Amino acid sequence: MGGKVKASKEAISVSKISNMSQKSVKSVSKNSKADDGTISKTTSAAQSTHSTAVGASKRENTDITLTAELQKELNTCKYYHGMMPRDEIEDLLKKDGDFLLRKTDVKGISKVAISVFYKGRVRHILMAYTSGGWVLKEQKFKTIQELVDYYVKTKNIIQTEGTYIKEPVPRPDFYILHEHIELQKKLGGGAFGDVHIGILKRGKEETKVAVKKLKGMMMKKQRADFVKEARLMRRFDHPNIVRVIGVAPQEDPLMIILELAPNGALNSYLKKHPQTPPDVCFSMVKDGCRGMTYLANMKVIHRDIAARNCLLGANNEVKISDFGLSVADKNVIKLDKLNKMPVKWLAPETLGKGEFSQKSDIWSFGILIWEIFKKCETDPYPNITNIEAKAKILAGETLDAPAGTSPLCAAAMKLCFLKNPTDRPDFEGLLKILSPNEKPPPKASDFETY
């Protein structure tokens, strides 16, 4: 994808703020459990607790629908962070009184919370909106800005433990409002949602982008995983990696805004252009290897390398994409089950022991080389089932290089398919085979930490 941008979202009315019982208020004030039933989270840096709007729960029915008008009111607050998960926002709150607003789900119902740092913990205090006003500590305010201004100015406590709000923490620049994104043609979709061409509007500037849109009203974990993908991608800055521009977390559906790769998915392109010459295929392999060398040096395991997860820029340069399964800062990860994993792209140690590493990425890259020179005419191990393919892979039966494969690419592919992971080259070694005089990207220690 190519182009510059940042993210935004489509407005959707949100659920209701439910009535909190006296019992839940008491249990939360003891810091035992969150109102959604989860134990208060404790990290080395901070502990977080969830509380209710004290007082409002005693005498008000807080069931409402958060209308488009109320959503717009929230969006005007620069310290409203939308549906960003706890893990994402807690790092932003560092001093006593630092606070922000966010939306959270409690038992499937959307609520608005003040997240505030106080005495080593981040507390998440739920607010109510009822009868035309926002309610906190038995006081009602016409707008949320009036509520915040009052408690910042007076320093009145907003929780029985003495918690107060002082400094609002604005949302980062990479948060994009839905109103700044115009969705256009749908490019594709999957279990997570859809991908569209979009227009990012910033003042008078308009930029074509790709928009990855999560299906509306997804569960907390699915939203957290979606945001985690965008957060990981923000580390990357390389011409052979798809660039993330921003996220739109303010409303459902959540969206990730990406650079637009005008020539689309690599597999689709090759199927449409079966006469792609070998030198162009070789260039595509080198591009992919450059991107993967960069990721390896950033200590990222991609876990889903395939032509379907590569995109083509304006000059048909390959860009590694789709980081939904990627893991950072681990040498090896192990899974007990390989549910819905692409068997024909997986290494023997993954199929046999559930192990993923940079060396299993190397194996999958060998499959990518095969796909490119095969012009994605078929899937790997054609005409057999996944079960049969798994048996062949575990038995050491590998794919042969397609006719017309560049000798260097055929040699690289053979090395990728060595059964013992330790015998396979790393990506830097593979790049030296494919492009001997090319300088590899810097190691992770040379990057700024995120």
Q: Of 62, 39, 47, whose CA–CA distance to 113 is shortest?
A: 62
Q: Where are the domains of the chain?
A: 22-168, 178-259, 266-446
pLDDT at residue 441 in the model: 79
CATH of segment(s) 178-259: 3.30.200.20
Instruction: Return the percent helix, strand and coil in the chain, to nearest 5.
Output: 30, 25, 45
Reported as half-sphere exposure (CB side, CA atoms, 13 A), residue 30 has a value of 7
Exposed/middle/buried for residue 32 (C-beta within 10 Å: 0-12, 13-18, 19+): exposed
pLDDT, tens digit, for every residue of 229-252?
Answer: 888 999 999 999 999 999 998 888
Strands 193-202 and 244-248: unpaired
Candidates 98, 252, 287, 304; catalytic one = 304
Average of per-residue pLDDT values in the chain: 84
Q: Of 123, 133, 129, whose CA–CA distance to 158 is shortest?
A: 123
Give backbone dihedrals phi and psi of 114, rounded to 5 degrees, phi first: -90, 120
pLDDT at residue 15 in the model: 33
Identify the three-state secondary structure at position 83: coil
Strands 181-189 and 193-202: antiparallel
pLDDT, tens digit, for every residue of 141-185?
Answer: 999 999 999 999 999 999 878 999 999 999 998 999 999 999 999
What does the angle CA 341 – CA 342 – CA 344 come to, to the nearest 5 degrees? 140
- Percent of the chain topping pLDDT 90: 62
Find residue 98's DSSP bridge partners. 167
Q: How far apart are CA 280 and CA 18, in angstroms?
A: 59
Q: Average pLDDT of 22-50? A: 38
Res. 54: pLDDT tops 50? no
Q: Of 338, 384, 346, whose CA–CA distance to 365 is shortest?
A: 346
287 is catalytic: no
Domain 22-168: which topology? SHC Adaptor Protein (3.30.505)
213 belongs to an annotated ligand binding site: yes
Extract the tokens encoding 31: 């810091």
pLDDT, tens digit, for every residue of 132-146?
Answer: 789 888 889 999 999
What CATH class does 266-446 carry?
A: mainly alpha
Q: Which of 55-64, 74-83, 246-255, 310-319 has the highest mean pLDDT?
A: 310-319
Its pTM surpasses 0.75:
yes
pLDDT, tens digit, for every residue of 213-231?
Answer: 987 666 777 778 888 888 8
pLDDT, tens digit, for every residue of 340-388?
Answer: 899 999 999 999 999 999 999 999 999 999 999 999 999 999 999 999 9
Extract the tokens encoding 360: 């299993």
Identify the three-state secondary structure at position 226: helix
**Structure letter (DSSP) for residue 368:** H
Give backbone dihedrals phi and psi of 120, rounded to 5 degrees, phi first: 80, 0
